[in-house]
Amino acid sequence: MINIQSLKFSYRQNRPLFEDLSLHLEAGHIYGLLGKNGAGKSTLLKQIAGLLFPDGGSCEVMGYKASRRQPAFLREIFLVPEEFYLPKVSIRHYVIANAPFYPRFDEQAFYSYLKEFAIPQNQQLTNMSYGQKKKVIISFALATNTKVLIMDEPTNGLDIPSKSQFRKVMAAAVTDDKCMVISTHQVRDLDNLIDSIVIIDDHKIIFNQDVGTVTDKLSFKMLAQLDDRMPVLYADSSLRGHAVILKNEGTEQSKIDMELLFNAILSNRQPIQELFN
Amino acid sequence: MEFKDSQAIYLQIADYICEQVLLNKWQPEERIPSVRELAVQLEVNPNTVMRTCELLQQQEIIYNKRGIGYFISNDAVKKIRQFKKDSFITNELPSLFRSMYLLEIDIDELKPYYEKFKKSNFK
């Protein structure tokens, strides 16, 4: 559904952000895009949405070149940006002005998402708090029913109960024909929602695996003591003990710890990548 | 539902479904909530619930009626008890036995505790 080949991009000359970046994403999944600050997560999402253009290579989404910004492409993709602007109108007017761009917009679903998020419906958008505005955009995004839905840090600014509401509406919205990409730093908010992990670092994609494959190959454990004979790939030690990633040598499936996996891949990439090749 | 850190989520969901059956909340030949309903309720990816259903189907605890959904098998309770028993004996008993051995507790000594536990929890 999303096919990026040898993408090259830089904001400034001699400071390349992406060099030979390739990524292939399919429908029916919720991808979690992880990376350090400044690694280029938001830039990559903007490339997919056709808001930034490649310096080299190609970015194809649903068979369209994203940079050509054809209407048939734009009406099937929605990006929830991290920073956004909403006009000084009511929710109803926002829908009247923006929904017609999305042929499969579901108004009923939109209002039910707002209800789930407990957003009052007859308020001016500009009179809302940041978190409330974010919930309006997320609700609108889900209601557009676009084939590609991209969210940049969607849980930033959401309070504790709405993180749970967010997971519920996302679980309800993903279908076999939709591809969702979420960039996030707060993986613990979303770790049961994401089914594939994409890690961007060092100008390219260094990891792209679904959760099932990860737990087939790796096991995540909390150990009281480390033992030299164990196939430890990464360990993070604290007072609670040692959080470790081991090579999974049996058939047992542990629960994935995405933070640990992220740190492991950034600091000890090669042996882990080899396991997946 | 609170997930533990130790076990893959799809297995924890399988345990949850099995528990509903053992507690008679879901009866044999009854339709269980759809994959999507369970995903929303448990706030997890529908693909994870799908994986749970494939596992339970393979263990013949649930079965699939095309286009309608998943149903609890007739002998689900028997099957679940067998699976749980096997897993209890291999996974949980060793650590219990270890404590019993270290504390010099005899098996017969535990019987009154077990009877008391049954009375206060399940009667």
A2-201 CATH: 3.40.50.300
Which residue in A has a C-alpha nearest to residue B40's C-alpha? A168
The alpha-carbon radius of gyration of chain B (Å, integer) is 17
ipTM computed for the complex = 0.81
At residue A108, the pLDDT reads 95
- Where do the CATH 3.40.50.300 domains begin and end in chain A? 2-201
Q: Kindly state the helix (H) or strand (E) to which residue A196 belongs, with its residue range.
A: strand A196-201
CA angle (A115 as vertex; A111, A119 as ends), nearest 5: 100
**Could you report the per-residue pLDDT of A139-167, keeping only the tens digit for each?**
999 999 999 999 999 998 898 888 999 99
With beta carbons under 8 A apart, name residues in chain B contacting A164: 43
* Closest approach of B47 to chain A, Cα-based (Å): 7
At residue B77, the pLDDT reads 92
At residue A231, the pLDDT reads 84
The yes or no reply on domain B9-76 and CATH 1.10.10.10 is yes
Share of chain A above pLDDT 90, in %: 70
Q: Determine the residue among A175, A180, A192 to mutate to test chain B binding: the one whose Cβ has the most chain B Cβ atoms within 10 Å.
A: A192
Asked whether the beta carbons of A131 and A104 are under 8 A apart, the reply is no
- pLDDT above 90: residue A268: no
Long-range contacts (CB closer than 8 Å, 24 or more residues apart) made by A75-78: A75/A101, A75/A102, A75/A103, A75/A146, A76/A146, A76/A147, A76/A148, A77/A48, A77/A49, A77/A50, A77/A146, A77/A147, A77/A148, A77/A149, A77/A150, A78/A102, A78/A141, A78/A144, A78/A146, A78/A148, A78/A149, A78/A150
**Could you report the per-residue pLDDT of A61-112, keeping only the tens digit for each?**
999 999 999 999 999 999 999 989 999 999 999 999 999 999 999 999 999 9
A2: confidence class by pLDDT, cuts 50, 70, 90 = very high
Asked whether the beta carbons of A253 and B8 are under 8 A apart, the reply is yes
Give the predicted TM-score (pTM) of the model.
0.86
| Per-window interface: B 50-69 vs A, CB < 8 A | 51
- pLDDT above 80: residue B122: no
**Could you report the per-residue pLDDT of A199-223, keeping only the tens digit for each?**
999 899 999 999 989 999 999 988 8
Domain ranges of chain B: 9-76
Of A139-153, B6-20, B71-85, highest mean pLDDT? A139-153
